[in-house]
């Protein structure tokens, strides 16, 4: 019964990953692709990637992007999950109903919608801030090298936050009510109840979110493509964008693309191993 | 309350549908009117492609995912544990790593510029996630029921089809809707495997318009509406299942 799964895993996941490793130590360009033979060139692709200053810019941007999105997502997810857990407040119930909506927006559309919001000439953001008197001239949010990387984190957080909120909310509902009642009798205020009960009970799920979101934020692609295409200059080149551009735009260096993607995969694999150890240690199901 | 007869229920269902249709009529007219301008019509084809891909991927991942998740939940051997772990690790493989070899492999198989290549690639890419969502549900179904059936002479496959799957309908719904949404949203795989407009899915069409100075924001937003409408409707209607499925795929196990 596992045959189809094994075939698919082998054909679409295992074989390509190994093949990517194979390609990454061979010279593969359009000419080689047409002829169908890839000359071996050892570590040359890797050394060329590692010597490329743009690659290190991409890695730095990826790390900054990941740090900002993961930290803000965890803080926001805990806050919003606590908010929608207040079922006696009717606006909380409305929020809870709407919370999943960003999950329904295709990533590429999300990027486009935000690039519309950020637009220098007719973006909503500039218009609102201008009307409110916060700024006196329009700001080019996604077109300024100083703000562009931060500008692309916001749509990404907006789109992926529901996932984190749902996990935290599910964990909150697993905390026995008696604990809070007991604490209230003992005279604990709201902060103490959060610090002594909620936070310790949430730690496991927060670790899971931390690892999952870090792994996925490392491979961010759609929002970059839709909003900045890596620009202005190299301000928003991230690792996945680097591999994509090196491979699929002239001069189409497939070997170097595979090498850079492989480096990215190794970094994510390290995160995946941590996840496996942390979460599925008692993998009894 | 008294119990309604079957024909009575059907009559009430029909009456409800009529009322709902009348209430939604003007809203549907606004939405359909806004996506029926000449500029938008050429994106209907991409919409159709997206639909074919998403439905096929959902079907295939459910079919193969259910088989594997069942064995992982029921047969406790060393290799099923290994299979589970392989699936967990696979979920972390970033699409960009697969793209370059997939492009070359699909090119040599003649699957570039076709929907079937995209469907196969996405199915393989999403299968581990489907298994991770389904396995905890199957594990929660009491095994006594199928054991009884097996004593009566049922094969494992028949027990799965006739006993476990009907009980697991909520799981299949949760997994199916998540698979549909993820494959509907997938950009990178079809972007790289399809260069011909005839076979582009909606996200690819949208990506190809990015940076085109002759395409205005209002047209882009209209296409986005076309692209996000189906999944938004799904999320609103099937919220409960999605919430359960997302939680199951991430924590249990």
Q: Assess if residue B161 is contained within a domain.
A: yes
Q: Assess if residue B151 is contained within a domain.
A: yes
The domain tally of chain B equals 1
Q: Which two tokens stand for residue B109?
A: 């198989």
CA pair distance B67, B134, nearest whole angstrom? 10
Best mutation site among B50, B70, B77, B92 for testing chain A: the one with the most A CBs within 10 Å? B92
Minimal Cα–Cα distance from B65 to chain A, Å?
7
Q: Assess if residue B210 is contained within a domain.
A: yes
pLDDT at position B32, please? 72
Cβ–Cβ below 8 Å for B253 and A13: no
Whether B60 contacts A11, CB under 8 Å? no
What is the arithmetic mean of pLDDT over A55-79?
91
Q: Assess if residue B119 is contained within a domain.
A: yes
CA pair distance B111, B31, nearest whole angstrom? 36
Q: Is residue A2 over pLDDT 80?
A: no
The parent domain of residue A274 ranges over 53-227+261-279
CA pair distance A27, B102, nearest whole angstrom? 17
Q: Assess if residue B18 is contained within a domain.
A: no
pLDDT at position B36, please? 65
Q: Assess if residue A183 is contained within a domain.
A: yes
Give the residue with greater pLDDT, A265 vs A121. Answer: A265
Q: Assess if residue B152 is contained within a domain.
A: yes
Q: Assess if residue B101 is contained within a domain.
A: yes
Query: What Rg do the C-alpha atoms of chain A give, in angstroms?
Result: 23
Q: Assess if residue A209 is contained within a domain.
A: yes
What is the arithmetic mean of pLDDT over A21-46?
76
CA pair distance A54, A256, nearest whole angstrom? 13
Beta-carbon neighbour count of residue A90 at 10 Å? 9
pLDDT at position B97, please? 82
Give the single-character DSSP code of A191. Answer: H
Cβ–Cβ below 8 Å for B67 and A1: yes
Residues of B in contact with A212 (CB under 8 A): 250
The 10s digit of each residue's pLDDT in A199-244 is: 888 888 888 888 888 888 888 888 888 888 877 878 888 888 888 8
Residues of B in contact with A243 (CB under 8 A): 96-97, 99-100
Q: Assess if residue B30 is contained within a domain.
A: no
The parent domain of residue B66 ranges over 42-250
Best mutation site among A3, A6, A9 for testing chain B: the one with the most B CBs within 10 Å? A9
Mean pLDDT across chain A: 83
Q: Assess if residue A25 is contained within a domain.
A: no
Whether A259 contacts A24, CB under 8 Å? yes
Give helix A148-173 / helix A107-118 axis angle, nearest 10°.
Answer: 130
pLDDT at position A282, please? 46
Give the residue with greater pLDDT, B56 vs A46. Answer: B56
Per-residue pLDDT of chain B (253 residues; tens, 9 = 90+): 566 777 888 888 899 889 988 888 888 777 777 666 666 677 888 888 899 999 999 999 999 888 888 888 887 777 777 777 777 777 888 888 888 888 888 877 777 788 888 898 888 888 888 988 888 888 888 888 878 888 887 787 787 888 888 888 888 999 999 999 999 998 888 888 887 878 888 888 888 887 666 667 777 888 888 888 888 888 888 888 888 888 887 764 4
Residues of A in contact with B104 (CB under 8 A): 19, 23, 28, 33, 254
CATH number of the domain enclosing A192: 1.10.3720.10
- Percent of chain A at pLDDT > 90 equals 12
pLDDT at position A279, please? 63
What is the pTM (predicted TM-score) of this model? 0.85
Q: Is residue A284 over pLDDT 60?
A: no
Write down the ipTM of this complex.
0.84
CA pair distance A175, A268, nearest whole angstrom? 32
The domain tally of chain A equals 1
Q: Assess if residue A169 is contained within a domain.
A: yes
Taking Cα atoms as reference points, which of B193, B231, B230 lies closest to residue B115?
B193
CATH number of the domain enclosing B219: 1.10.3720.10
Cβ–Cβ below 8 Å for B221 and A113: yes
Q: Assess if residue A240 is contained within a domain.
A: no
């Amino acid at each position: 019964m596992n045959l189809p799964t094994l075939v698919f895993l082998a054909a679409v996941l295992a074989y390509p990953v190994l093949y990517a490793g194979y390609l990454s130590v061979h010279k593969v360009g359009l000419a080689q692709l047409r002829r169908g033979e890839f000359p071996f060139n050892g570590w040359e692709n890797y050394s060329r990637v590692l010597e490329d200053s743009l690659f290190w810019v991409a890695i730095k941007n990826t790390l900054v992007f990941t740090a900002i999105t993961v930290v803000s997502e965890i803080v926001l997810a805990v806050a919003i999950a606590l908010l929608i857990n207040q079922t006696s407040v009717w606006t909380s119930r409305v929020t809870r109903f709407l919370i999943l909506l960003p999950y329904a927006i295709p990533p590429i559309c999300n990027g486009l919608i935000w690039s519309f919001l950020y637009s220098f000439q007719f973006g909503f953001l500039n218009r609102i801030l201008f009307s409110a008197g916060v700024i006196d001239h329009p700001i080019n949010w996604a077109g300024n090298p100083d703000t562009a990387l931060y500008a692309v984190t916001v749509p990404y957080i907006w789109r992926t936050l529901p996932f984190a909120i749902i996990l935290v909310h599910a964990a909150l509902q697993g905390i026995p009510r008696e604990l809070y009642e007991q604490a209230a009798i003992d005279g604990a205020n709201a902060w103490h109840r959060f610090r002594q009960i909620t936070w310790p009970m949430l730690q496991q799920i927060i670790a899971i979110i931390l690892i999952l979101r870090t792994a996925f934020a490392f491979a961010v692609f759609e929002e970059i493509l839709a909003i900045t295409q890596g620009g202005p200059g190299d301000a928003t080149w991230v690792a996945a964008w680097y591999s994509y551009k090196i491979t699929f735009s002239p001069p189409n260096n497939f070997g170097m693309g595979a090498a850079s993607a492989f480096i990215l995969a190794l970094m994510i694999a390290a995160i995946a191993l941590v996840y496996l150890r942390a979460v599925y240690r008692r993998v009894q199901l | 309350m008294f119990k309604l007869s079957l024909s009575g229920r059907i009559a009430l269902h029909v009456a409800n549908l009529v009322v709902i249709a009348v209430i939604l009529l003007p809203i549907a007219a606004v939405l359909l009117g806004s996506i029926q301008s000449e500029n938008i019509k050429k994106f209907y084809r991409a919409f159709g492609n997206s639909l074919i891909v998403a439905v096929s991927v959902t079907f295939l991942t459910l079919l193969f995912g259910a088989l594997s998740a069942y064995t992982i939940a029921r047969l406790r051997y060393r290799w099923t544990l290994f299979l589970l772990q392989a699936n967990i690790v696979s979920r972390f493989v970033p699409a960009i790593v697969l793209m370059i070899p997939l492009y070359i492999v699909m090119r040599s198989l003649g699957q570039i510029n076709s929907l079937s290549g995209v469907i196969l690639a996405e199915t393989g890419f999403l299968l581990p996630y489907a298994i991770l969502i389904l396995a905890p549900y199957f594990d929660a179904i009491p095994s006594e029921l199928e054991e009884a059936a097996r004593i009566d002479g049922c094969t494992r496959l028949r027990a799965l089809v006739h006993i476990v799957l009907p009980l697991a309908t909520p799981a299949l719904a949760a997994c199916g809707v998540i698979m549909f949404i993820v494959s509907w949203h997938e950009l990178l795989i079809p972007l790289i495997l399809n260069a011909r407009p005839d076979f582009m899915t909606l996200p690819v069409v949208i990506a190809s318009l990015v940076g085109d100075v002759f395409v205005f924001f209002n047209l882009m937003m209209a296409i986005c509406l076309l692209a996000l409408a189906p999944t938004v409707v799904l999320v609103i209607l099937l919220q409960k299942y999605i919430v359960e499925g997302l939680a199951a795929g991430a924590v249990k196990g």
